[in-house]
Amino acid sequence: MVAPSGIVTLLTDFGTEDAYVGILKGVILQINPVLTIVDLTHQIPPQNVALGAFQLHQTYRHFPPGTVHLAVVDPGVGGTRSAIAIMTPTGCFVGPNNGILGQILTDAQHEGSFADCHALILDNPRYWYTSAPSRTFHGRDVFAAAAAHLASGLPFQELGTPMVLEQLALLDLLQFQSAESGLRGFVQAVDRFGNVISNIPNDAVQDRTWLAKAAEQNFPSHSTYSEVSVGSPLSLVGSHGWVELSVSGGNAQQQYGLGIGDPIELTWS
Amino acid sequence: MVAPSGIVTLLTDFGTEDAYVGILKGVILQINPVLTIVDLTHQIPPQNVALGAFQLHQTYRHFPPGTVHLAVVDPGVGGTRSAIAIMTPTGCFVGPNNGILGQILTDAQHEGSFADCHALILDNPRYWYTSAPSRTFHGRDVFAAAAAHLASGLPFQELGTPMVLEQLALLDLLQFQSAESGLRGFVQAVDRFGNVISNIPNDAVQDRTWLAKAAEQNFPSHSTYSEVSVGSPLSLVGSHGWVELSVSGGNAQQQYGLGIGDPIELTWS
Amino acid sequence: MVAPSGIVTLLTDFGTEDAYVGILKGVILQINPVLTIVDLTHQIPPQNVALGAFQLHQTYRHFPPGTVHLAVVDPGVGGTRSAIAIMTPTGCFVGPNNGILGQILTDAQHEGSFADCHALILDNPRYWYTSAPSRTFHGRDVFAAAAAHLASGLPFQELGTPMVLEQLALLDLLQFQSAESGLRGFVQAVDRFGNVISNIPNDAVQDRTWLAKAAEQNFPSHSTYSEVSVGSPLSLVGSHGWVELSVSGGNAQQQYGLGIGDPIELTWS
């Protein structure tokens, strides 16, 4: 078990207009005023669990081991989904058991650390913010409190009842496929710059060149934006681990009308 | 007088596109680099004092006692409204005397701590950021500096001239009313999820069931979103202390066109 | 050389929807978990170097000496522009050499501290986040790591190869001009409130009164918003050092259709 880093990250779909994020921080600092709180993002589209899982997945491994990551996109709050925590060699994670944390375990499997992962249900009322949690705001009443206690060094198992890792909800993510002369994938996210992020991992194209095609448009592979003229489409090994489609100095999403779920075909060249 | 927690919260209508919030933080950290600064929100609609007061009211009690809350929505900056600070058993508050802090004292009255509250005008130039404050940015020149000094342990009375609490500006808020067979209230806020927050406190409906009606639509009372099917309207005891109108897995504001000030009728069932 | 304040500020065009900003913070805290990170803004319009330079320029002098400012608006990432750091008596600055840091040296010239400024190219791989930086995300792989090391007390010259200050890229900013009976300037920015910020410095109008004209509309000079009735246009000495055009209780940009680059004429009255 890694010593806590004293850092708590927050990822939610709460937005920044309302008081919700401030309340999470208040609860955390009430429990331990010297914790460091870092916002990952609060702009996940409301109730979009898949995009929440994607952003968390891009980010968590860049934090010190022992960091606690709170991830709350929670359309089923107050219903039957359980509130959980996971501990891995990389850090601790708290959130609803609706798939938002599923990718963490998939990563652990790939990295061979699955046996060092543990999960539990946050059912020990001693570590809730209130003895009678709201039916609509577990972010405040269950998750923030759990995150603060974990980041302060509370032994993991104190937080609740152990669960087997196989009970963790996983998202049914679209997978990329090998085709005869290349790969077939899908758009899994689009960033602020209009870069279109596929679900084809960089590993799958390493040391090769290719032509990507999406929305009837060709995106030839290059190493960096400046290899093509401003306004030209290209495809490259992205900084987060996925093949991306871009427009140099422009916005590929807007220019070609691409969106999440659209197919992408890669042909080796 | 509670010892300072070392935490300063910020609530403004400055937005996050401009340099204003960064400047507030620079001023605070110049005065004391070890303070913890927490953003409540900077997305209050420009010059909307009532929504600023609402969001502050939802949030402050979740922070440790001795926290300093800066609240600046200040359409009258440079005019005759005074710059003030308030100390209560819960924390300290700095901002313009335009109603944004009024609810704090109303709360203290309800909680029986009015006699332990103090207020003053921030007219001691020794604790301004500059001896000649700008006429347009008291957030930087007066309020941020006062908040930093208070959070660092400066005795409250050093900041300026005492004022009687009765001089505090209060907002003329719409009140809910008891009707023959229920309650009549108004929409006081809408959150990012489209939840419509009434001004009817949860206390007024405790342990009862009801049918809410707004914009010609019925919202039957339930305990949680998942008790109704996705897309269905409902009304519930909200997490912030007010009766709310929602759509399960949807957006009540958009679906029914509700806005701030719209009437809501509750009929006991 | 000023001792580090332990504070790192971040200014980018990354937005807050994606994981990019969270990743920067993770990298910084991996290198030193006790640093204080402050967001200036991440809402610079994508790839708008000039507005990034403007917002940095408004903000940096309000932070404690020895603060490290990371400024990444970087359309040429992966191309020939170099990654640099600058040290001045006010603080340290890291970013691409594309003009975003140019104003810092112009300020140093005005303040007579040019001889105390130093610059270098961030080409020492020992202080990168990874030995093989991504071609598209130097914010993570080069700039965040450099900022964290500087803020932790690493001697400046360790980060790379010295460069002469004359090699620093400067933006070709529009200048204001003296006219027969006043001044001619341009709109350089517009804030959230619709205040229109000219490139005419307050120094150029000190102790005078004037009539400003832009978009065929007159904006007479006043000391503060409340000197005119709500809805009326006015011009005033702005809090950031520039003459501004505003509408009392309103939005000058929207009301008069003003935008960046529009001319403004001042006539002394």
Beta bridge partners of B239: none
Q: Which residue of C has its CA nearest to B80?
A: C226
**CA B4/CA B17 separation, integer angstroms:** 31
Run of H or E residues at C50: helix C49-59
A15 vs A127, C25, C94, CA distance in Å? 26, 19, 30
Beta bridge partners of C268: C210
Determine the Cα angle at C198 with ends C196 and C201, to 5°: 135
pLDDT of res. A251: 96
Average pLDDT of chain C? Answer: 95
What are the tokens at C35? 């640093």
**CA A10/CA A42 separation, integer angstroms:** 8
Q: How far apart are the first and last CA of chain B?
A: 47
pLDDT of res. A33: 97
- Residue C207: pLDDT band by 50, 70, 90 thresholds? confident
Report which of C32, B22, B67, C21 is spatially closest to residue A29, judged by C-alpha positions: B67
pLDDT of res. C6: 97
What is the DSSP-derived secondary structure letter of residue A99? S
The CB-side HSE value for A110 (13 A sphere, CA atoms) comes to 5
**Closest CB to B33 among C6, C41, C223:** C6
pLDDT of res. A1: 63
Q: Do C58 and B19 touch (CB under 8 A)?
A: yes
Helix-, strand-, coil-residue percentages of chain A, each rounded to 5: 30, 30, 40
Residues present in chain A in total: 269
**CA B146/CA B44 separation, integer angstroms:** 22
Q: For the purposes of burial, counting CB atoms within 10 Å of the CB of C255, is it exposed (0-12), middle (13-18) or buried (19 or more)?
A: middle
Helix spans in chain A (H): 20-31, 49-59, 102-111, 138, 144-151, 252-256
A contacts of C14 (beta carbons < 8 Å) = 192
Bridge-based pairing state of the strands C67-72 and C7-12: parallel
Bridge-based pairing state of the strands A196-201 and A242-247: antiparallel
- Say which amino acid occupies C245: L
**A47 close to C (CB below 8 A):** no
Q: Which residue of B has its CA nearest to C15?
A: B17
**CA B228/CA B245 separation, integer angstroms:** 13
Beta bridge partners of B61: none
What is the DSSP-derived secondary structure letter of residue A116? G
Residue ranges for chain A with pLDDT beneath 50: none
Q: How far apart are the first and last CA of chain A?
A: 47
The CB-side HSE value for A156 (13 A sphere, CA atoms) comes to 24
- Residue C130: pLDDT band by 50, 70, 90 thresholds? very high
Measured in whole angstroms, how far is the alpha carbon of residue C256 from the centre of its chain?
26
Report which of C72, C12, C41, C64 is spatially closest to residue C191, judged by C-alpha positions: C41
Cβ within 8 Å of residue B47, ≥6 positions away? B13, B73, B74, B75, C193, C249
Report which of C88, C92, C103, C101 is spatially closest to residue C7, judged by C-alpha positions: C92
Beta strands in chain B (DSSP E): 7-12, 36-41, 67-72, 83-87, 91-96, 118-121, 161-163, 177-179, 182-190, 196-201, 210-214, 217-220, 233-237, 242-247, 263-268
C contacts of A5 (beta carbons < 8 Å) = 29, 33
**A241 close to C (CB below 8 A):** no
Q: Tell me the pLDDT tens digit for each residue of B173-212.
A: 889 999 889 999 999 999 999 999 999 999 999 889 999 9
Beta bridge partners of B263: B186
Q: Do C38 and B22 touch (CB under 8 A)?
A: yes
What are the tokens at A27? 């609860």
A contacts of B251 (beta carbons < 8 Å) = 46
Helix-, strand-, coil-residue percentages of chain C, each rounded to 5: 30, 30, 40
Measured in whole angstroms, how far is the alpha carbon of residue A13 from the centre of its chain?
12
Beta strands in C25-130 (DSSP E): 36-41, 67-72, 83-87, 91-96, 118-121
**CA C266/CA C219 separation, integer angstroms:** 9
pLDDT of res. C1: 63
pLDDT of res. A127: 98
**CA B243/CA B117 separation, integer angstroms:** 29
For helices B144-151 and B20-31, what crossing angle results, to 10°?
40
Q: Do A55 and C140 touch (CB under 8 A)?
A: no
**CA C159/CA C156 separation, integer angstroms:** 6
Q: Tell me the pLDDT tens digit for each residue of B119-132.
A: 999 999 999 999 99
Q: Do C55 and B18 touch (CB under 8 A)?
A: yes
Run of H or E residues at A217: strand A217-220
Residue B1 reports pLDDT greater than 70: no
CB C185 within 8 A of CB C198: yes
CB C225 within 8 A of CB C193: no
**Closest CB to A41 among C18, C77, C134:** C18
Mean pLDDT of C259-264: 96
Residue owning tokens 């963790």: A168
C34 vs B210, C6, C28, C31, C170, CA distance in Å? 52, 8, 10, 9, 34
pLDDT of res. A2: 82
CB burial string A104-118: b at 16+ within 10 A, e below:
bbebbeeeeeeeebb
Report which of B93, B144, B83 is spatially closest to residue B117, judged by C-alpha positions: B93
**CA A137/CA A141 separation, integer angstroms:** 7
Mean pLDDT of C254-262: 96
**Closest CB to A192 among C30, C46, C136:** C46
What are the tokens at C158? 């360790």
C contacts of A36 (beta carbons < 8 Å) = 29, 33
Residue owning tokens 């890694």: A2
pLDDT of res. B2: 82
Report which of B140, B158, B8 is spatially closest to residue B74, judged by C-alpha positions: B140
The CB-side HSE value for B55 (13 A sphere, CA atoms) comes to 31
Residue B24 reports pLDDT greater than 80: yes
The shortest C-alpha distance from A181 to chain B (Å) reads: 42
**CA A257/CA C101 separation, integer angstroms:** 35
Strand, helix or coil for residue B131: coil
pLDDT of res. C174: 87
**A255 close to C (CB below 8 A):** no
**CA B90/CA B80 separation, integer angstroms:** 28
**CA A83/CA A72 separation, integer angstroms:** 10
Q: Do C58 and B29 touch (CB under 8 A)?
A: no
What are the tokens at A164? 């087997």
What order of strands is seen across the sheet that includes strand A67-72? A36-41, A7-12, A67-72, A91-96, A83-87, A118-121, A161-163
Chains that touch A (3 or more CB pairs under 8 A): B, C
Q: Do C226 and B37 touch (CB under 8 A)?
A: no
**C191 close to B (CB below 8 A):** yes
CB atoms within 10 A of CB B210: 20
Q: Do B136 and C236 touch (CB under 8 A)?
A: yes
**Which region, left, alpha or beta, applies to residue B216 given φ > 0 means left and ψ of -120 to 50 means alpha?**
left
Run of H or E residues at C29: helix C20-31
Residues present in chain C in total: 269
pLDDT of res. B79: 87
